[in-house]
């Protein structure tokens, strides 16, 4: 049995295959110990049966966002100890006179330099002397770190000195992260930041995954973890390199969206994943596969390992609404989470986006979680009436909350599309997450996206993506070569050989996907393209799309070579929906008032489990199911495709 489990801020979503059919289970998350909900789900689903457990975790993400990681020592070449504090010259907010950067993860007394030097061509200028290494070891031990990050100058070109430093520090009994193992690439600040984040997360992630792995093994199950780059790795690899799991859950959503969109015949998609705490958006061409970046930032800190190009905003179903001192309404980024949760769950006291949607008639109080949980509408109305301030009505307060949350998400969608040279009107909005289908049509209208697709079990699509993800390992190296240099192919071959050995050690057969990062000579940044006979021409075309011009007469430089090793996951066939007669009356539950565009209108409520291929209906409507609710505005036209997806033509 294969089980995928995605830990969210409010619910833990599970998807598993049972007798050839996909099943979904949602249970409340346990924020104090996320592993508790995971083990509870495995026990409930598998019982005594052995299973392969695939886990999308937020443990590393939350530790970084809340700055609750380890006490880290940062070791680098003498004279470069403050690299991680100095960073880059670029200011995030140019005209904010009061802006202050987040302090580095390693404070000043925890930064250490060692006398050594490697040249940019990999030649050793000065070896690290044994006496200096012994002194470094004493100084680091006296500081009492819980983890150590080592990032020496030009160690990507020749790791000999860095290996010597790591060997000297290994027996201190704390995890040591080395840059030549985590990220053998140039850019000193980005490499140092990445390895520092890895070390910062390592102790907590190792304890969490080792404890979870032991519990799974006791149930005769194996544990794998989702990476930010869109692939599965064994738990031992994730524990050693936790920096690769920062976007673990959202990455599953993108993989799942690609799978369902491709089956439905859509190639160009914008993914919209709205959960209880945050919203994740991405732009994807399903024919081209996953789109990764190595320019991600978390709290202003670079993370240069490959990650899916996902943009996150603090707007979710549990996002808290309040008024600031000037009387302006604001929503998020704080969230009610699973405990106490929204007001309508029975314990929360502060208005949230979910509460607002309930009061606007866009959620069904009796049908939440397929009827397994009843929402308290009267309690929610009372709390909103108390909190609405000077607003004329509860409806105005609720609609303001929803519109403000939508505006935050709209900015994120514009950032990944319009700001990167893509027209949203050429894409389909694939909406999922527990809260996503309620907001999807409003966002599509704002961006003039003509079609919204809501897949089956949208609240568990991230878990589905984890279930169908391939096992993936990424390998890279900085080379700085001309495109016609024969050494390029040699570097790629060596990386592929190393990747093949790593995958075979895990008992996996894999295929290699090669790519290179290129730039015009003299530029400061590069663009990734697939390795092929015309990779230089690919670069010119991509540069023109991104920046508006291409200079085919200008020399081109290959900066990095990359190899992604992929072991394919067993194919899961898409279930086809039963053919219908086009009449959705069999799924009709009742008529209810829905607040749309400033007024109450009568709308229909449908049970999605009874809808069949070819069924069509118009909004306003609410479609209920176990994992999520879909809201269709008055102009929306809905049809059900052969895979059971809701295809919504949004209208003007």
66 Cβ contact partners less than 8 Å away, ≥ 6 residues apart: none
- The pTM score is 0.86
Backbone angles phi, psi at 361, to 5 degrees: 80, 10
Identify the pLDDT of residue 652.
Answer: 65
Alpha carbon distance 174, 170 (integer Å): 7
pLDDT tens, residue by residue, 269-319: 999 999 887 889 999 987 677 778 888 888 788 999 989 988 888 888 888
Alpha carbon distance 251, 29 (integer Å): 19
- Decide: 271 and 262 in contact? Cβ < 8 Å: no
Identify the pLDDT of residue 299.
Answer: 76
The number of beta carbons lying within 10 Å of the beta carbon of residue 507 is 7
Listed as ranges, residues in the chain with pLDDT below 70 are 9, 287, 338, 571, 573-574, 652
Which domains, and CATH codes, for the chain? Answer: 2-65+205-245 (3.30.420.40), 72-202 (3.40.50), 247-469+570-652 (no CATH), 471-567 (3.30.1490)
Q: How does 304-322 read in b/e, with b if 16+ C-beta sit within 10 Å?
A: bbbbbbbbbbbbbbbbbbe
Alpha carbon distance 60, 66 (integer Å): 10
- Decide: 50 and 1 in contact? Cβ < 8 Å: yes
């Amino acid at each position: 049995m294969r089980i995928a489990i995605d830990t969210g801020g409010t619910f833990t979503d599970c998807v598993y295959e049972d007798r050839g059919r996909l099943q979904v289970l949602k249970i409340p998350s346990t924020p104090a110990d996320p592993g508790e909900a995971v083990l509870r789900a495995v026990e409930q689903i598998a019982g005594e049966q052995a299973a392969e457990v695939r886990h999308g975790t937020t443990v590393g993400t939350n530790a970084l966002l809340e700055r609750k990681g380890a006490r880290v020592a940062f070791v680098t070449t003498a004279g470069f100890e403050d690299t991680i504090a100095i960073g880059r010259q670029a200011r995030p907010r140019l005209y904010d006179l009061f802006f202050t950067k987040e302090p580095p993860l390693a404070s000043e007394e925890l930064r250490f330099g060692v006398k050594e030097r490697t040249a940019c061509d990999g030649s050793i200028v000065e070896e690290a002397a044994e006496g200096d290494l012994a002194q470094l070891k004493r100084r680091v031990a006296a500081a009492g770190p819980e983890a150590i990050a080592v990032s020496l100058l030009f160690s990507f070109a020749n790791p000999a000195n860095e290996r010597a430093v790591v060997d000297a520090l290994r027996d201190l009994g704390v995890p040591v992260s080395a840059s030549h193992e985590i990220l053998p690439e140039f850019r000193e600040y980005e490499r140092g930041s990445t390895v520092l984040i890895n070390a910062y997360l390592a102790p907590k992630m190792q304890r969490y995954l080792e404890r979870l792995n032991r519990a799974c093994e006791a149930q005769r199950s194996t544990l794998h973890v989702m990476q930010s780059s869109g692939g599965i790795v064994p738990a031992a690899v994730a524990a050693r390199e936790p920096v690769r799991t920062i976007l673990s859950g959202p990455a599953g959503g993108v993989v799942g969206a690609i799978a369902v969109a491709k089956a439905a015949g859509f190639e160009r998609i914008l993914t919209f994943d709205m959960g209880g705490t945050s919203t994740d958006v991405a732009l994807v061409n399903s024919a081209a596969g996953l789109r990764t970046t190595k320019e991600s930032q978390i709290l202003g800190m670079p993370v240069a390992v490959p990650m899916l190009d996902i943009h996150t905003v603090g707007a979710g179903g549990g996002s808290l609404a309040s008024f600031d001192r000037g009387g302006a309404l604001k929503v998020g980024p704080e969230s009610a989470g699973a405990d106490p949760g929204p007001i309508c769950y029975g314990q929360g006291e502060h208005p949230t986006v979910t509460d607002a949607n309930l009061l606007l008639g866009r959620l069904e109080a009796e049908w939440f979680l397929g009827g397994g949980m009843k929402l308290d509408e009267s309690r929610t109305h009372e709390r909103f009436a108390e909190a609405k301030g000077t607003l004329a009505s509860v409806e105005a307060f609720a609609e303001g909350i929803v519109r403000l949350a939508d505006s935050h998400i709209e900015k994120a969608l514009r950032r990944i599309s319009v700001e990167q040279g893509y027209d949203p009107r050429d894409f389909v909005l694939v909406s999922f997450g527990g809260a996503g289908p309620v907001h999807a049509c409003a966002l599509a209208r704002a961006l003039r996206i003509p079609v919204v697709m809501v897949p089956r079990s949208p609240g568990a699509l991230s878990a589905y993506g984890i279930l169908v993800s391939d096992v993936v390992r990424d390998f890279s190296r900085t080379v700085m070569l001309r495109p016609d240099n024969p050494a390029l192919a040699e570097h790629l071959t060596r990386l592929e050989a190393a990747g093949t050995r790593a995958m075979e050690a895990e008992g996996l057969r894999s295929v290699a996907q090669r790519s290179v990062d290129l730039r015009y000579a003299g530029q400061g940044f590069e663009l990734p393209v697939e390795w092929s006979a015309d990779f230089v021409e690919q670069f010119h075309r991509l540069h023109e799309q991104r920046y508006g011009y291409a200079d085919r007469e200008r020399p081109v430089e290959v900066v990095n070579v990359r190899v992604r090793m992929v072991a394919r996951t067993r194919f899961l066939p898409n279930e086809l929906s039963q053919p219908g007669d086009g009449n959705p009356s069999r799924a009709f539950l009742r008529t209810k008032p829905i607040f749309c565009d400033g007024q109450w209108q009568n709308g229909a409520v449908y049970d999605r489990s009874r809808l069949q291929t070819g069924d069509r209906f118009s909004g306003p409507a609410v479609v209920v199911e176990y994992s999520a609710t879909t809201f269709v505005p008055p102009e929306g036209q809905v049809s059900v495709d052969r895979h059971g997806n809701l295809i919504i033509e949004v209208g003007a």
